[in-house]
Amino acid sequence: MIISALMLAVCFVLGMKEYVFSEQILRSIDMKFEENYEWKKLIANIINEEGIKLTIDGKQIDTAGMYMNYNRDIMIPASLMVSEFDCSMRIYEDEELVIERNDVKIELKVGTNSMELNGKAVPLASDVTLFEGDIYIPVEVVNKAFQCNYTWDKEENVASIFDTLSKKKYPSRFDYREIGKAPTIGNQGKLGTCWAFASLAAIESTLLPEEVYNFSEDHMSIQNSFSSTQNDGGEYTMSLAYLAAWQGPVYEAHDPYGDGISPEGLDARKHIQEVQILEAKNIEQIKEMVYKYGAVQTSIYTNLKNASSQSDYYNSEKYAYCYIGTDKPNHDVIIIGWDDNYPKENFNIGIEADGAFICQNSWGTNFGEDGVFYISYYDTNIGIHNIVYTGIEEVNNYDSIYQTDLCGWVGQLGYVDEQAYFANVYTAKSREILEAVSFYATDKDTEYEVYFVSDFEDDSSFDRMRLVAEGELDNAGYYTIKLSTEQLLAEGERFAVVVKINTPNAKRPIAVEYVVDESTKDVVIDDGEGYISLLGKRWERTELSQSCNVCLKAFTSKVDAE
DSSP per-residue letters across 367-427: STBTTEEEEETT-SSTTTSEEEEEEEE-TTS-SEEE-S-TT--SEEE-SSSSEEEEEEEEE
CB atoms inside a 10 Å sphere around CB 231: 10
- Report yes or no on whether pTM surpasses 0.75: yes
Q: How many domains does the chain have?
A: 3
* Residue 24 domain-assigned (yes or no): no
Q: Could you give the CA distance from residue 406 to residue 25 in angstroms, rounded to a whole number? A: 58
Judge if 276 and 372 occupy the same domain: yes
User: How do residues 457-475 score in pLDDT, each as one tens digit?
Assistant: 999 999 999 999 999 999 9
* Residue 20 domain-assigned (yes or no): no
User: How do residues 196-229 score in pLDDT, each as one tens digit?
Assistant: 999 999 999 999 999 999 999 999 999 999 999 9
3-state SS string for 105-168: EEEEECCCCEEEECCEEEECCCCCEEECCEEEEECHHHHHHHCCEEEEECCCCEEEEECCCCCC
Q: Output the domain CATH number for residue 67.
A: 3.30.457.10
Judge if 228 and 287 occupy the same domain: yes
* Residue 316 domain-assigned (yes or no): yes
Judge if 212 and 149 occupy the same domain: no
Judge if 142 and 190 occupy the same domain: no
The length of the chain, given as a count of residues: 562
Helix (H, G, I), strand (E, B) or coil at 69: coil
Q: Output the domain CATH number for residue 519.
A: 2.60.120
pLDDT recorded at residue 133: 81
Q: Which domain holds residue 179?
A: 174-388
Judge if 463 and 549 occupy the same domain: yes
- For residue 123, whether the previous peptide bond is cis, meaning omega lies within 30 degrees of 0, is no
Judge if 135 and 209 occupy the same domain: no
* Residue 193 domain-assigned (yes or no): yes
User: How do residues 363-393 score in pLDDT, each as one tens digit?
Assistant: 999 999 999 999 999 999 999 999 999 999 9
Q: Output the domain CATH number for residue 260.
A: 3.90.70.10
Q: What is the pLDDT along the chain (562 residues), one digit of tens a residue?
A: 333 333 333 333 333 334 444 445 455 544 444 557 788 888 889 888 888 888 888 888 876 678 999 988 889 999 989 988 889 999 998 889 999 998 899 999 999 999 999 999 999 999 999 987 889 999 999 888 888 888 888 888 888 888 876 667 889 999 999 999 999 999 999 999 999 999 999 999 999 999 999 999 999 999 999 999 999 999 999 999 999 999 999 999 999 999 989 999 999 999 999 999 999 999 999 999 999 999 999 999 999 999 999 999 999 999 999 999 999 999 999 999 999 999 999 999 999 999 999 999 999 999 999 999 999 999 999 999 999 999 999 999 999 999 999 999 999 999 999 999 999 999 999 999 999 999 999 999 999 999 999 999 999 999 999 999 999 999 999 999 999 999 999 999 999 999 999 999 999 999 999 999 999 999 999 889 999 999 999 999 999 999 999 999 999 999 975 5
Last residue of a domain, which of 332, 367, 388? 388
- Closest of 65, 40, 61, 39 to residue 51, by C-alpha: 65
Judge if 269 and 364 occupy the same domain: yes
Q: Could you give the CA distance from residue 276 to residue 83 in angstroms, rounded to a whole number? A: 14
Q: Could you give the CA distance from residue 99 to residue 91 in angstroms, rounded to a whole number? A: 9
* Residue 2 domain-assigned (yes or no): no
CB atoms inside a 10 Å sphere around CB 33: 17
* Residue 40 domain-assigned (yes or no): no
CB atoms inside a 10 Å sphere around CB 166: 9
Last residue of a domain, which of 330, 360, 388? 388
Judge if 72 and 136 occupy the same domain: yes
pLDDT recorded at residue 167: 67
Q: Could you give the CA distance from residue 129 to residue 110 in angstroms, rounded to a whole number? A: 5
Angle between helices 194-207 and 236-244 (to 10 degrees): 60
Sheet holding 134-138, edge to edge: 67-68, 74-77, 134-138, 129-131
Judge if 489 and 537 occupy the same domain: yes
* Residue 364 domain-assigned (yes or no): yes
Q: Could you give the CA distance from residue 411 to residue 556 in angstroms, rounded to a whole number? A: 27
- For residue 209, whether the previous peptide bond is cis, meaning omega lies within 30 degrees of 0, is yes
pLDDT recorded at residue 124: 94
* Residue 95 domain-assigned (yes or no): yes
Last residue of a domain, which of 162, 193, 217? 162
Identify the burial level of 50 via C-beta atoms within 10 angstroms of its C-beta, where 0-12 means exposed, 13-18 middle and 19 or more buried.
exposed
Judge if 111 and 243 occupy the same domain: no
Judge if 417 and 370 occupy the same domain: no
At 98, give phi and psi (nearest 5°): -120, 125
Judge if 279 and 375 occupy the same domain: yes
